[in-house]
Amino acid sequence: METLNAFAPELIRMIIAVIGAAVLVFGNALVMGYMERKLAGHFQRRTGPMEVGFHGILQLIVDGIKLMAKQLVIPAKADKPLYMLAPIISFAPVFLPLLVIPFSDRIQGFDLDVALLFMLAIASVNVFAVLIGGWASNNKYSMFGAFRAVAQSIAYEIPMLLSLLAIVFMTNTFSLRGIMDAQNVWFIFLQPVAFLIYLVSMVAETNRAPFDLPEAESELTAGFHTEYSGMAFSLFMMAEYTNMFIASCIATVFFLGGTSGIPLPYFEYTGIIWFLLKAYMFMFFLVWIRWTFPRTRFDQLMNLCWKYLLPFSLVNLLITVVVVKL
């Protein structure tokens, strides 16, 4: 009883944080889905969704209902347990990194000391989901998508980590709160090369165009999620949008100072407005480049990583270490 009293505030805090993360995941999927389709329309000089609600605002809700009501078609020779497991593996870990992101001074689930390592570790779990999904579908196209996705994800984690490591060297802490607080000058000005490297790796890690080979629509007819329909497909999509959001949040915290900006009243709670503004700016950037560029070829993708990003990030790290130690 005493121990329960002692633990209760933390427990309540964690429960609220998890509920908040769930709200964020679904809310983000709604907003991002709508934003992506409307922006895609306007980039192509057409309107995007217009029918459901005023200028299509309710479109995503109706889409969600449709996806839930759809029949889950399972291919006959698919490996059934693995087939059903893949979307769950993709979607479930996506709540965890949201618990450690400092949305504002008081709004944070849990201030972990090794938050960055935690988040990158969770991001790697997505590779499993893609691989299992592609394999279990019993479809050669999906298998292709899975192979490419594995190689791509593993390769691009390295420049991502190295560029963020340069920032960690400057601030001596892995905790996101610490990095955010240590920015008197935003790190985008102190580490522009790391910023650019991180930007490219972010696009590749979240499997967005021009690096969306795992879901290359026109070559492989939707790659690893070809055989998924209904809710399973929407789990993959929500996981992808949330991964985009998490990567944008990391970029905001590391390079744009998180919640720093013109102080608003009740800044401890309203700092989240600046944070979300900056994070959604990165999401806009991701949508923008998706609808502008074609897809790179697989070997060109790997070339970009090994021949361009990796040397630059290593050299950047070296220079940072030398300058910090001086």
Among 18, 20, 31, 43, binds other proteins (CB under 8 A): 43
Residue 57 sits in the site that holds other proteins (CB under 8 A): no
**DSSP string across 3-43:** HHHHHHHHHHHHHHHHHHHHHHHHHHHHHHHHHHHHHHHHH
Binding mask 284-303 for other proteins (x = CB under 8 A): ----xxxxxxxxxxxxx---
Q: Which residues of the chain form beta strands (DSSP E)?
A: none
Q: Shortest gap between Cβ of 216 and other proteins (angstroms)? A: 7
Range 194-213, binding other proteins (CB under 8 A):
209-210, 212
The helix (H) or strand (E) run that includes residue 324 is helix 310-325
Report the interhelical angle of 231-255 vs 140-171 (nearest 10°): 20
Q: Is 72 helix (H, G, I), strand (E, B) or coil?
A: coil
Q: Measured between alpha carbons, how far is residue 165 from residues 24, 121, 157, 316 in Å? A: 27, 14, 12, 10
Nearest-angstrom CA–CA distance, 129 and 119 = 17
Minimum distance of other proteins from residue 260's CB (angstroms): 26
**Cis peptide preceding 210, ω within 30 of 0:** yes
Contact window for other proteins (CB under 8 A) among 106-114, 168-176, 214-222, 273-281:
214-222
Q: Of the two residues 45 and 77, which places its CB atom closer to other proteins in the complex?
A: 45
R_g over Cα of the chain: 20
Of 278 and 290, nearer to other proteins (C-beta) is: 290
As given in the structure block, the two tokens for residue 30 are 């709604």
Q: What is the DSSP letter of 307?
A: I
For other proteins, the binding residue among 11, 12, 42, 281 (CB under 8 A) is 42
Q: Which is nearer to other proteins, 107 or 151 (CB)?
A: 151
Q: Is 244:27 a contact under the CB 8 Å cutoff?
A: no
Phi and psi at residue 256, to the nearest 5°: -110, 15
In terms of CB distance, is 169 or 298 closer to other proteins? 298
Show the binding pattern over residues 114-143: x = contacts other proteins (CB under 8 A), - = does not: --------------------------xx--
Binding characters for other proteins, 218-257, by CB under 8 A (x = yes): xx-x------------------------------------
Q: Which residues contact 112 (CB under 8 A, 6 or more apart)?
A: 100, 118, 175, 176
144 touches other proteins (CB under 8 A): yes
CA distance 230 to 14: 31
Least distance from C-beta 213 to other proteins, angstroms? 8
* Number of other CB atoms surrounding residue 307 within 10 Å: 10
Q: Is residue 36 a contact residue for other proteins (CB under 8 A)? A: no
Q: Decide: is 315 part of the binding site for other proteins (CB under 8 A).
A: no
- Number of amino acids touching other proteins (CB under 8 A): 35
Residue 41 lies near other proteins (rule: CB under 8 A): yes
Q: Which stretch binds other proteins (CB under 8 A): 8-16, 33-41, 112-120, 236-244?
A: 33-41
Distance CA 59, CA 62 (A): 5
- Least separation in angstroms between residue 279's CB and other proteins is 20
In this complex, which beta carbon is closest to other proteins, that of residue 120 or of residue 188? 188
Interface pick for other proteins out of 1, 2, 46, 54 (rule CB under 8 A): 46
Q: Which residues bind other proteins (CB under 8 A)?
A: 39-47, 50, 140-141, 144, 209-210, 212, 216-219, 221, 288-300, 308
